[in-house]
Copies of this chain bind each other. A is one copy, B any other.
Amino acid sequence: VSVQKVAVLGAGGWGMAIANLLSEKGYNIGLWEFDKTAADELESTRVLPSKLPGISLNDNIAVTNNLSAAVVGAEFICFVVPSQTLRATARKLLEIDLLKRPILINLAKGIEVGSLKRMSEVLAETIPLGSYSGIATLSGPSHAEEVSRGIPTAVVAASRDKEIGSAVMDLFRTRRFRVYTSDDILGVELAGSLKNIIALAAGMLDGLGLGDNTRGALLTRGLAEIVRMGKKLGADPITFSGLSGVGDLVTTCLSRHSRNRFVGEQIGLGQTLDEVLAKMSMVAEGVETTKSGYQLSRYHRVEMPITTQVYHVLFDGKSPAEAINDLMIRDPKPEDWS
């Protein structure tokens, strides 16, 4: 396919980084911003230091609050909005004739609270089948701050349809942005979402001043409970060892760029969730995902001890130190995954 135009919905840090990456490949980009004032300002200033410091948008990116202007004629539509707003964003597309049956690419990492749907499921059930040609999710360790500075990054493009996955790989790949493919979109989406709960827990460890051994144990047992849930829902367990699983888990749990880790750290230092969130301008996806992860665990009766403890800390006022202690004194057992 010769690509002319790509729509990027959501002009936060990741949306801007993706718009820049794609624009450097020569595509024209329609970058849609939900808020009219913010869209106008970004279109004229080309910078948003609070979300992506030090980076300017390239010339062939048109920032707009007009969704039709962004999406009409695009061969690809990238959804880079907060996960809990994806359904509302997708619904807005229903009124528009997209013209070109685009490939829809989800870049949000979350599970809808209440419905417990993954993002590609939300897209598939919102947008009529005939109006798009495929759905994919792009995921993996990819902090916007680093991608926009050209730091080597590797991600995975997942789609049940291998041709769609390959098309998305070709759309994004550069010498600095390596894209693998996967046909396990279920596993990729679960991994990318649930790992944010573990990142919150890792931040709590940091806030409590615990060490590298504890963090290694937490990441591993966190991965184990994500694998358990994944298997229950039909994912391929090995997906969780990949870029969207281990890779993103590691990066998120350790990076100073991670908002989820940051929220956990502040809570580990003694603040309440409300106090932390009141000071943040960006969304920490892990907070809502802790709700949906906890709901998934209960609904499917899959044991997720770390998710459960994070839930109690965030929403029931349990102290992080007590939560860690409760995790450590559980009965010993085989290192199982079932």
Which residues of chain B are near A335, meaning CB under 8 Å?
156, 180-182, 239, 242-243
Residue interface bits A129-172, CB-to-B below 8 A is 1, else 0: 00000000000111100110101111010000000000001000
Q: Which residues of chain A (202-238) have a CB below 8 Å from chain B?
A: 210-217, 219-221, 223-224, 227, 237-238
Sorting the interface of chain A by its residue count into under 10, 10 to 19, 20 to 34 or 35 or more gives: 35 or more
| Interface hit among A120-128, A280-288, A326-334 | A326-334
User: Shortest CB–CB separation between residue A62 and chain B, in angstroms?
Assistant: 27
User: Shortest CB–CB separation between residue A274 and chain B, in angstroms?
Assistant: 28
* CB of A323 within 8 Å of the partner chain: no
| Interface hit among A31-39, A96-104, A251-259, A291-299 | A251-259
Which of A142, A176, A238 gathers the greatest number of chain B CB atoms within 10 Å? A238
**Does the CB pair B219–A246 fall under 8 Å?**
yes
**Does the CB pair B214–A243 fall under 8 Å?**
no
Chain B, residue nearest A158 (CB): B335
* CB of A312 within 8 Å of the partner chain: no
Extra contacts besides A141-B220, A151-B214 (9): CB < 8 Å: A146-B213, A153-B213, A181-B335, A183-B334, A215-B250, A216-B243, A216-B251, A223-B246, A227-B241
